[in-house]
Structure formats: C-alpha cells, structure tokens
Chain A
C-alpha cells in the first residue's frame, strides 16, 4: 500500500502534474491569443526608458514596490532571485550543464541559503496576508498556494541542508537517473532513492511540488508570464 502511494507520488503524479501544468498554461495562452485585441493604447506616463528596458526594469527591480514598502520590496526581490536559482538547481539535478558550472559548486547554488531565503520570504508573504488590510482582499487561493509552496520548499530545503551539513549524503547521480528516466518516459524509481534516509522527505517534497504545479495555471501564479504583457501595455 505504502509502496503504491510512494510510487504514485513519484511517478504517475509527476506526469499528471506536468501535463496539467503544460496543458493549463497552453490553454491560458490560447484563450489570450484568441481574444480580440484593442485598437487604442492603454499606456501611462512618464516613460523614462525605452519600452523593453522599462519593462525589464519594472519586472525585475520592482521599483513600484520599493516606493511603497522597502520590506515588501526586499522580500519580493529576494524571493524571485532565489526562485531563479532554485530552477537552475533543479536543472542541475536533471543533468550536468557545463555552462552552469562556470563557478564550480555542489548541485544547488547558494550553499543551502536559497531554500532558507525562499522559506522565510514565503512565510513573510503568508503572514502578511493575515494582517489588515491584506486579509480583507485575500481569498483562500492566496493562502493555499503559499502553504503548498512553503511545504515544497521546507522538505526540499531539508534534504539539501541535510545533504550538505550532515552525513546523510544525497546521491545526485541516483536523482539524475530517476529524473532522466521520467523525461525519457521510461520511468524508473531507483531502489537507492526508495530506501534512502530521505525517502519520505523526498516524497513529501514531490507531492507538494506536484500540487503547486497543478494549481499554477489556474490562479494568480500566471503573473510570472503575464506581468511582462501588462507592463508592456503600460508603456505602449
């Protein structure tokens, strides 16, 4: 029974999650692509930088948040930067990329700090929502997505830290076998992973990551893509 659940989370559910994520995003893009455009312009002023530069600056430096709340801005920037490093770390978990090893490092940049920064930022975003006036405008989706993300980070980060600072060595090569087999659509769950000290942590990490991915296209997380479109409209 436990083995079946474990296998379901680690293999079929991963496929379901990625399929839901990909199809959901495609559906979202298709709906937008087939929606009518407008003949006018919705831009605002001033425009101190050319459009592409302005969009990049607003998207990545978030000066609007800096103006309103330095603390919130700090966590926004810290969170998004760390998330980018996290994506790179997971790519390295699939395969070795020479370009990513320009500065030689153990898989996952940041010596474990990336996960900690992400967890602290996520908790900040979550607890900020419990405060007035943010609680007045929050809906269940806002809390749930942050809770799922926190748990995915918590278990993922736990494995990373344990692997770095304790004797529970995390076998990257076995993880690569597993992830590459998933990508090749010939899934194999190596026995070394199933019987490792981290097996439960890993399953919980994958479970919460799966749930997060499945919800991604259907909520506000699409801001990660659409933000560039709205910021472009602001300068058009």
Chain B
C-alpha cells in the first residue's frame, strides 16, 4: 500500500480514537470468553467470526500505527501494518458482524466489539472497499435529505392509496387525513420505512388509538450507520431530527427497525423530544385501553425473537412480551432469551448485501432456537430481523410463519 494512502488511513483511525474506543482497545485481555458467543461463529466456527478474532484485526493495526510498543516490538503484540491483506480481513470482520452486541454480554469488561469495528468500517470507506450497496443506499438517503421538496409530491400520491387501505381496515366512512403529513404541533411524528406495510399497520393503530400524529417524509433506516460512515449517519439521522423540530412534535415514534430506534434514542445525544419505539407505543395504548384486541387469542404456538437493537441494546424486553400475552394463548420463550438471545444474523445492513449463503449459515443458531420452541409463528419487531428470519425459514425449510408485531396487532385490533 502506498505511503500516502497509509497516512490517509491512519488519520481515519485517529478520527475514531475516542475515549471509549481507547478503553475498549486497551482493556481486552483476550480471555476468550466471547469466543463462541457470535451467531456467525456458531454457524461457521472460524476464528475470523469470533468477536475477539474480529476485534484483533483492528487492534493489531492500531498497535502498529499508534503505539510505540507496536512500532518498536511488533512481534510482542502481533502488531500488523495496514496493507491489502489486512484491509480484506477488516472487510470480512466488519461486514460479517451485525452489531448485535451479544458478545458484550459475555465480555467481563463489557467491551463493545461492534464499536471497535467502527474503525474497520471507516477504513474500508477510505480505502474504497466498503460494500457498494450500503454506500449507494446511504448516498441516496443523503440526497433525499438535501432535496426533500422534489420527493414530496411523489410521496404524497402514494399516501393517498395507503389511506384507502387504512380506511378499509378500520371501516371508516372517509379516508381523508388518516395519514396526516406535515401536521404542526402533532403529539407524535411517526417515522416509517420505504415499504407501505411499515406505514399502514402503524397508521391503523394510531387511528384506532385516536392519536394526534403525523408521518415523516423520511424513512427511519440509517444506511450511513450500516456503512460505518459517521458523517452520513449523522446527516441521515438529522433529517428526522430537523423535521421533528420544525413541526414542533413532542415525541418521535420509530417504526419496527432496531438500529433506526437506537440511533436517536442513544447515539445522538440529548434531543428536544422523546424517542419511542412503535412497540412501546402499542404497549402504552393497550395499557391505557386506547386500543383493544379482538376476542379469541391465537392458538398456534408462537415465539418472539428479540431484535438485538431493541432488546439488549435498548432495554425493550417486557413490552413486546406483554403485548403478545394479549394476542397468543401458547407463547413459547426461546432459549437463551432476552439479553442472551441469539442474533438472527440480519442486522448491521447485512440483509442489504449479496450474502444469502453466509446469512443462512450464520442464522443456524436462530434456526435451532426456533426449532426447539416448536413454534409455528415467529414474531419480531424489526424489519431486518423479519427479512432475515424469512431467509432462515426458506434456507432451512422451516415450517413457520414470520410476522411483525405491529402487523399482528393491527390485524387483531377490535374496531
């Protein structure tokens, strides 16, 4: 690799050497407790897919370029200079990790391995070797943010069709205003995804709960985060933040998308509005009797897959279970569950990549968990998880139905 390129990449590493990053890089003792805790390692038992194996790829390069000991005695800590081979290893490490942070639960120091892999991702962008799909999707989201007025007309025309669907579901006399747009001072700004289903089901629930809400022009998913580009991640997130501020809403409710929820909830710093997941909102409506479920619970055995970003990374464990308790009579918990639940393998933008074979193999832990429950319906609350669970279902020929929580709630609303 040319010296100039190495200098450029070193400055990218330096830009990510925050205080937490330095703690994480220095504290790991390579005790190996995390070694077999990654779903990818479960499906493909190679060191490269172990959390510590992934983090070491980054740690070795940081040692070589930023530590006197790495420069003077590289053998001592296995310090490795950046070169083509190392960049390939970084790509393998960064884009086989979903950022689920299950490994963090098994690390005696609570080291955030995906945070360390943020260095690998930013290096891959600088090296021009980041996955094109994610970079293009992030660029498209940025472009939409820069020229939203050009998108509005097309978006509004689609909203009309969705309102008709919501009207039909709720049996209302008129479709007008069922999906309000640009409503100033609404209580809730809902941020959906690009697919109509991500808007229709929540719209049915919001209208049933008689919520004073409005819909965002933007989609919640953040491909800047998935690609590992901090600037694009911030810009994409700021589109919604600025929209919420301009409308003067009290609360931003995020669609079933774990990462889209975690970013405004935890990663942007203090915001002038509350950030809630649609799952928490549904739970609130049920608790306040603002919505009711139809009589007669689902009798088929049903299980819930905790989306990692919603569960162990955001603490939304009880709400989905309490919602499902009202929907299903034969609820079966996965094992291990909650914070120790296996990742399905779809997060971190991996479902947007051409890697189906890898995702089927890395989804083996989830397949085994589902099998063990004997459930016929698998419910989750994250778009990436739903897509990946369907890939696992098809890949292993599982006899299950994969449903989203909001879809199930909207379907079983008593109207």
A residues sitting closer than 8 Å to B (CB atoms) are: 28, 31-32, 35-47, 58, 62, 64-65, 67-69, 72, 76, 133-134, 136-142, 144, 218-220, 222-223, 226-227, 229-231, 233-234
With A38-B19, A45-B317, A229-B23 known to touch, is A68 a contact of B28 (CB < 8 Å)?
A: no
A-B residue pairs, 6 tightest by C-beta: A234-B110, A39-B269, A45-B315, A40-B267, A139-B78, A226-B27
**A127 → chain B closest CB, angstroms:** 13
Interface string of B66-110 (1 = CB under 8 A from A): 011100000111100000000000000000000001001111111
Residue contact B27 to A222, C-beta cutoff 8 Å: yes
**A77 → chain B closest CB, angstroms:** 11
Alpha-carbon distance between A35 and B16 when the two chains are bound, in angstroms = 10
Residue contact B18 to A38, C-beta cutoff 8 Å: yes
Closest to A136 in B: B47
Closest to A62 in B: B108
B residues near A233, Cβ cutoff 8 Å: 20, 23, 110, 112
**A215 → chain B closest CB, angstroms:** 9
Residue contact B47 to A234, C-beta cutoff 8 Å: no
Alpha-carbon distance between A139 and B70 when the two chains are bound, in angstroms = 12
Alpha-carbon distance between A219 and B68 when the two chains are bound, in angstroms = 11
Closest to A39 in B: B269
**A231 → chain B closest CB, angstroms:** 5
Alpha-carbon distance between A103 and B120 when the two chains are bound, in angstroms = 54
**B260 → chain A closest CB, angstroms:** 15
A residues near B317, Cβ cutoff 8 Å: 45-46
**A167 → chain B closest CB, angstroms:** 41
A residues near B106, Cβ cutoff 8 Å: 64, 67-68
With A41-B267, A45-B314, A141-B77 known to touch, is A32 a contact of B22 (CB < 8 Å)?
A: yes
Alpha-carbon distance between A139 and B47 when the two chains are bound, in angstroms = 14
Residue contact B17 to A35, C-beta cutoff 8 Å: yes
23 contacts between A and B (CB under 8 A): A31-B22, A37-B20, A41-B266, A42-B112, A44-B104, A45-B317, A46-B338, A58-B110, A62-B108, A64-B105, A65-B108, A68-B106, A134-B30, A134-B35, A137-B35, A141-B77, A142-B30, A144-B76, A219-B77, A222-B26, A230-B110, A233-B112, A234-B104
A residues near B349, Cβ cutoff 8 Å: none
B50 within 8 A of A: yes
Interface string of B237-278 (1 = CB under 8 A from A): 000000000000000000000000000001111000000000
Residue contact A230 to B47, C-beta cutoff 8 Å: no
B235 within 8 A of A: no
B residues near A218, Cβ cutoff 8 Å: 67-69
Residue contact B20 to A42, C-beta cutoff 8 Å: yes
B residues near A28, Cβ cutoff 8 Å: 26
B residues near A44, Cβ cutoff 8 Å: 101, 104-105, 110, 312-313, 339
Alpha-carbon distance between A62 and B21 when the two chains are bound, in angstroms = 22
Alpha-carbon distance between A234 and B266 when the two chains are bound, in angstroms = 12
B residues sitting closer than 8 Å to A (CB atoms) are: 17-24, 26-33, 35-36, 47, 50, 52-53, 56, 67-69, 75-78, 101, 104-112, 115, 266-269, 311-315, 317, 338-339
Alpha-carbon distance between A35 and B21 when the two chains are bound, in angstroms = 9
**B56 → chain A closest CB, angstroms:** 6
A residues near B104, Cβ cutoff 8 Å: 44, 234
B residues near A231, Cβ cutoff 8 Å: 109-110
Alpha-carbon distance between A141 and B60 when the two chains are bound, in angstroms = 12
B residues near A141, Cβ cutoff 8 Å: 76-77
Contact among A36, A43, A139, A144 with B19 in the assembled complex (CB-CB below 8 Å): A36
A residues near B52, Cβ cutoff 8 Å: 137
Alpha-carbon distance between A90 and B284 when the two chains are bound, in angstroms = 59
Alpha-carbon distance between A142 and B31 when the two chains are bound, in angstroms = 10
Residue contact B269 to A40, C-beta cutoff 8 Å: yes
A residues near B19, Cβ cutoff 8 Å: 32, 35-38
Residue contact B27 to A42, C-beta cutoff 8 Å: no
**B393 → chain A closest CB, angstroms:** 28
Residue contact A32 to B23, C-beta cutoff 8 Å: yes
B residues near A41, Cβ cutoff 8 Å: 266-267
Alpha-carbon distance between A139 and B311 when the two chains are bound, in angstroms = 34
Alpha-carbon distance between A235 and B399 when the two chains are bound, in angstroms = 39
Contact among A137, A140, A234 with B76 in the assembled complex (CB-CB below 8 Å): A140
Alpha-carbon distance between A134 and B31 when the two chains are bound, in angstroms = 7
Closest to A142 in B: B30
B residues near A136, Cβ cutoff 8 Å: 47, 53
Alpha-carbon distance between A42 and B312 when the two chains are bound, in angstroms = 11
Most buried by A among B19, B31, B53: B31
